[in-house]
Structure 1
Amino acid sequence: MTPGPRNLITDVPGVKVGNAQDDRLKSGCTVLTADTPFVASMHVMGGAPGTRETDLLAPDKTVSEVDALVLAGGSAFGLDACSGVVDALRARQRGYRVGPAIVPIVPGAILFDLLSGGDKNWTENPYRALGRTAFEAASTTFDLGTAGAGTGALSAMLKGGLGSASLQLEDGTMVGALAAANPMGSVTTPGDRYFHAAPFEIDAEFGGLGPDPTTGQGLDLTSRKRALVSDQSNTTIAIVATDARLSKAQCHRVAVAAHDGIARACVPAHSPGDGDLVFALSTGTAPDGNPGLIGHAAALCLTRAIARAIYEATPDPSDLLPSWRSQNA
């Protein structure tokens, strides 16, 4: 397996991603869409998720395809980003058809960044407009780090962010991951230099420092974030994608497997105060795939995407926590 040409989730043919953020708000959203509707499912392993339309993604539910997925900051307010995407899809006559009616189905998930700085004293919810802007910006290239849904993200010790990675399997199947990393846990080992994800790094995509040479990792749970904001101010939300043809039930199993990627990159993960959620989608433009192998590749991609999110974050004077780059310049 090797990374795709962009090392982004958009290496999956037909997939596009758009970001929108407001630096004054210190928050934003990220929208994934595709050239045609896609099969999707999801799995939650955190104790505090915030979601919209995710029940429809269960394998036994009626809707078989969706047109977009949304990751957003803003906690419950950020769910309104999905409404902006619905508006944009309806304007393009895309959505689930019920007779003459068109109903865009746009599942979404949010992370909590309301205490991460920025001016949150709005009079009108800004996320609907951000959602539409992100959808309209969707492309095969997009920014990582302090961008989109990762704009106001924080990990335990360092600034969080938006990350992505991809892998192509030996049979040609493409797999990719997209993550907004705002975990309760730390993405780096004590000292803030080495990544927990280091054993899975490819081509120095997050610094090439290798694993921390010390042992006994996971025992030191020091957290700058906990000292500044609530223990509930967390969540890693992610999307994994493949071009292999998968059923809705198979996408669900891929989403379950992909959660291993969060646990490898964030220590600890899946806590009561995290809303850890993974969407999994299949564009179905390639032949039937091996769900077990695709799930393994999705987990590898998600591990790397989370590390890249922290590695690519850029410092700002108003930040509550330092960025990895400012700590390791």
Structure 2
Amino acid sequence: MVGGGTMAPMPEPVNTTLTAIPGFQVGHWTDPLAQTGCTVVLCPPEGAVASASFIGPSPATREGVLLSPEKKVERVHALLLTGGSAFGLAAATGVVRVLEERGIGHETAFGRVPIVPAAVIYDLGVGNPRVRPGEIEGEAAARAASSAPVERGQVGAGTGATAGKYLGGGVPGGLGSVCLERSGVRVAALAVVNPVGDVLDERGGVLAGPGTGPVAAAFTPGDVENTTLVAVATEHALTKAECRRLADAAQTALARVIHPSHTAWDGDSAFVLSSAALPPADPLLLGALVQEAVCAAVRDAVRLTRQNLE
């Protein structure tokens, strides 16, 4: 206070993460000691039109086939991204429990059935491999979900993520999220960065790879699974087939920001979620924004992780 006046309140920080898209909420469960965790993206109560793209020989998913454009169910109610390898898929049951309590799900003759796709990263080599997200942890992440800006870095599913392992090392990866808007079209992305390859900066230099940060663990390509997980959200109406095309665009973006990408040791998963709250947007602009947002989210993950470790 100066001269008897009062201090003006600090402005609220602008949300530039996935939760800037109305209707979507994000929550984490994190175990920093065991270096694992899970992240839940809650969709609007009526669900989000969704599809996905899976590239690489080792994706570990739940309800992945259901997201194919030709399958009957169009909307999902949440998305789980988790550590713990295939064990971590159990966390989806906790998310389903929370949604059932709230009366959210696909309408059937005998009740609402929540649709919760899930995908995992392999993080067993960096912390305690006996600790993995399960039902209780998935439920905790779902109950923690909010529309606040997404916490990023070594948190949630990105806690034990690593990058730059194809030469035998490994530096921390993490979780990143951005929201981009152009000409009234808005797209957000969340990325869990756990590739065997390096993460590249905007000029093509190595942002996360050998010699760029603290060594997370020693790896030999082939003895560990590697996966980058991406969730993209938009308000603009999309069909399930259009979601799939944008998921393919998200995979193309990974090839721009990770080198080498989509290798024999990766199992990358990209999900696209549309609340359909706004009219359709120009598909070329949407595709461009998806690719830009995915690249930015991947870089955001490793930059925030490095910043938090310094």
The two structures have a TM-score, normalised by structure 1, of 0.81
Q: Report matched runs for 1:165-204 at 5 Å.
A: 165-170=178-183, 172-187=184-199, 196-199=200-203
Opposite residue 263 of structure 1, the aligned amino acid is A
| TM-fit CA distance, 1:227 | 4.1
Aligned with 2:144 (options 137, 144, 152): 137
Aligned-pair distance for 1:63? 0.4
Residue 306 (structure 1) shift: 0.6
Aligned counterparts of 2:22 and 2:36: Cα–Cα separation in 1? 29
Partner of 2:64: 54
Q: Distance in 1 between matches of 2:55 and 2:283?
A: 20
Say which of 134, 141, 154 aligns to 2:162: 154
Superposed displacement of residue 228, structure 1: 2.9
The one-letter amino acid paired with 1:309 is: A
Alpha carbons 1:144, 1:312 under 8 Å: kept: yes
Name the counterpart of 1:45. 55
Residues 173, 286 of structure 1: 8 Å contact kept: no
Match of 1:24 among 33, 43, 54: 33
Q: Could you list the per-position Cα deviations for residues 82-138 of structure 1 after superposition, in whole angstroms to 9, with x for gaps in the alignment? A: 111011111111111211322111001000001112x2335xx64211111111111
Residue deviations 1:203-261, cap 9 Å, x none? Answer: xxxxxxxx64xxxx8xx989967843553331101101111000000000010011122
Indicate which of 120, 126, 129 corresponds to 1:110: 120
Query: Which position in structure 2 is the counterpart of 1:236?
Result: 228
Q: CA deviation at 1:169?
A: 2.2
State how 1:1-329 maps to structure 2 within 5 Å. 5-36=14-45, 37-117=47-127, 119-122=128-131, 126-140=133-147, 141-156=149-164, 157-170=170-183, 172-187=184-199, 196-199=200-203, 212=205, 227-228=218-219, 231=222, 232-313=224-305, 323=306
Cα RMSD after superposing both structures: 2.3
CA distance in 1, matches of 2:42, 2:31: 21
- Work out the percentage of aligned pairs sharing the same amino acid: 38
Whether contact under 8 Å (1:177, 1:305) holds in the other structure is yes
Cα distance change on mapping 1:227 and 1:121 into 2, 3 Å: closer
Return the alpha-carbon distance in structure 1 between the equivalents of residues 58 and 307 of structure 2: 26
Distance 1:16 1:286 in 2: 18
The residue aligned with 2:9 is none
- Assess if the C-alpha contact under 8 Å between 1:258 and 1:296 holds in 2: no
CA contact (8 A) 1:42 1:280 kept: yes
Measured in 2, the distance between the counterparts of 1:290 and 1:71 equals: 29
CA distance in structure 1 between the partners assigned to 2:76 and 2:191 by the alignment: 19
> Deviation of residue 263 (structure 1)?
1.3
* Unaligned 5+ runs, structure 2: 1-12, 165-169
Q: Does the 8 Å contact 1:246/1:291 carry over to 2?
A: no
Q: Give CA-to-partner distance per residue, 1:153-188, whole Å, 9 cap, x none.
A: 000142010000111120x2210000000010011x
CA contact (8 A) 1:245 1:286 kept: yes
Partner of 1:203 in structure 2? none
Distance 2:267 2:254 in 1: 12
> What letter matches 1:155 in structure 2?
A
**Contact between 2:83 and 2:133, CA under 8 Å: does it hold in 1?**
no
Q: Identify unmatched segments of 5+ residues in structure 1.
A: 188-195, 200-210, 314-322
Judged with a 3 Å threshold, the aligned counterparts in structure 2 of structure 1 residues 32 and 325 are, in CA distance, closer, same or farther, namely closer
What SS does the corresponding residue of 1:134 show, helix, strand or coil?
helix
- 2:142 maps to a residue whose letter is F
CA distance in 2, matches of 1:230, 1:283: 39
* TM-score between the two structures when normalised by the length of structure 2: 0.86
